[in-house]
Amino acid sequence: MIEVQHLTKRYGPFTAVDDVSFKVEPGEILGFLGPNGAGKTTTMRVLTGYMPPTGGKAIVAGFDVFEQPIEAKRRIGYLPETPPLYPDMTVRDYLTFVAKIKGVPRADRKARLDSVMERTRISDMATRHCGKLSKGYRQRVGLAQAILHNPDVLVLDEPTAGLDPKQIIQTRELIKELAGSHTIILSTHILPEVSQTCQRVVIINKGKVVAVDTPDNLTARIRGSETMYVQVDASGADAQGALSQVPGVRQIAVTETRGSVTGFEIDSEPGRDVRRELASAIVTRGWGLLELRPMRMSLEDVFLQLTTQDAAEPEVAHE
Ligand SMILES: Nc1ncnc2c1ncn2[C@@H]1O[C@H](COP(=O)(O)OP(=O)(O)O)[C@@H](O)[C@H]1O
Ligand SMILES: [Mg+2]
């Protein structure tokens, strides 16, 4: 539904987006994750036809955004970083104006407006001037204008930025409701956002794609195997011998010893949960099992690792 191919955007000598490629399947929510300045907004502006690329192309619903801009834009709803509201217009007048521009037929306009305002929970603000809205409402009116012409594709630039926690949850729910009937790409610099909303993530840093995967795979893949931390009250050598016999265990390292207590980091085969076997190997020998926990990296760690490696090679992932 969305295809970005070798997209590059330079501002003068500065390369903001560098050979970025990815795809979004119909009905999918793709998270576009990266620190501030990574190139998210630039990519979205190019993708929505607001700015030409320096190189590469973007195809939305089968239309090249630059060669067939009108056809493409008809199928895109865009929530820019700052919602494009007119401060002196009331919410209803503004949305009526947008509906006209976007070619919503006159006969459908009122019903369409009412349903979109209902959906984005702004009906009670219909007569309020846009300039007088709180940040949360401005963002929702921005979302309302993006979905007004019922586009196939929604491009949302940091849709929850600046909202309070309750509004963030409401916005996430609304986005999930919209998925399925729409294909969505949303950008964010906050991690929990992607694991809670998105099926797949593109991580971008300094204009380059550093990873494309599901939130779960990203977390697991970076290690290649699962690691457990186990703390046992037993002689280190005996415990090491016993634990290394557990099926599925690949590697075992002593990370601490304190009196009779030994801590191990145990690598196991990916996808194999060895916790029960480890526990029973310890307990049946009469040793004390003091701690047993997975050391899987959090998405936070993955993100840091991917975005702070200087020599990070662009990585093309399982798609
Ligand atoms: N109009 C512009 N002219 C020059 N540099 C720009 C312009 N817009 C953005 N940049 C630079 O391009 C980089 C990417 O910006 P942006 O796409 O806004 O990142 P993000 O949305 O991920 O925070 C930043 O270093 C930013 O300073
Ligand atoms: Mg941005």
**Per-residue confidence in pLDDT tens, the chain, 319 aa:** 999 999 999 999 999 999 999 999 999 999 999 988 999 999 999 999 999 999 999 999 999 999 999 999 999 999 998 888 999 999 999 999 999 999 999 999 999 999 999 999 999 999 999 999 988 899 999 999 999 999 999 999 999 888 888 888 888 888 988 887 899 999 998 877 888 889 999 999 999 998 898 888 877 766 556 788 999 999 888 999 999 999 999 999 999 899 899 999 998 887 788 999 999 999 999 999 999 988 766 677 777 777 776 544 444 444 3
- Tell me if 16 CB under 6 Å of ligand 1: yes
Q: How far is the CA of 80 from the centre of ligand 2 (A)?
A: 9
Predicted confidence at residue 286, as pLDDT, reads 95
Contact 307, 263 (CB under 8 A): no
pLDDT confidence of residue 317: 45
Is the model's pTM score more than 0.85? no
User: Of 3, 25, 29, which Cα lies nearest the Cα of 171?
Assistant: 29
Q: Per-residue b/e over 208-236, b at no fewer than 16 CB within 10 Å?
A: bbbbbbbbebbbbbbeeebbbebbbebeb
Residues of the chain with CATH 3.40.50.300: 2-220
3-state class (DSSP) for residue 14:
strand
Q: Which CATH superfamily hosts domain 2-220?
A: P-loop containing nucleotide triphosphate hydrolases (3.40.50.300)
- Minimum-distance ligand 1 atom for the alpha carbon of 17: 14
Cα gap 114→244, rounded to integer Å: 65
Q: Which helix (H) or strand (E) element contains residue 113?
A: helix 106-119
- Burial class for 310, CB neighbours closer than 10 Å (0-12, 13-18, 19+): exposed
pLDDT for position 83: 87
| Strands annotated E in the chain | 2-11, 14-24, 29-33, 55-60, 63-64, 76-79, 153-157, 183-188, 200-205, 208-213, 226-233, 249-258, 261-268, 288-294
pLDDT of residue 224: 57
Question: Where are the domain boundaries for CATH 3.30.70.3190 in the chain?
Answer: 224-294
pLDDT (0 to 100) of residue 225: 60
Regarding the beta carbon of 34 and ligand 1, being less than 6 Å apart is answered yes
Look-up: residue for tokens 């265990």? 249
Structurally, what CATH architecture does the domain formed by 224-294 represent? 2-Layer Sandwich (3.30)
Does the beta carbon of 36 lie inside 6 Å of ligand 1? yes
The count of residues in the chain is 319
Cα–ligand 1 centroid distance for 85 (angstroms): 22
What is the per-residue pLDDT for 157?
96
pLDDT of residue 223: 57
Give kind and range of the element (H or E) at residue 266.
strand 261-268
Q: What is the pLDDT of residue 302?
A: 75
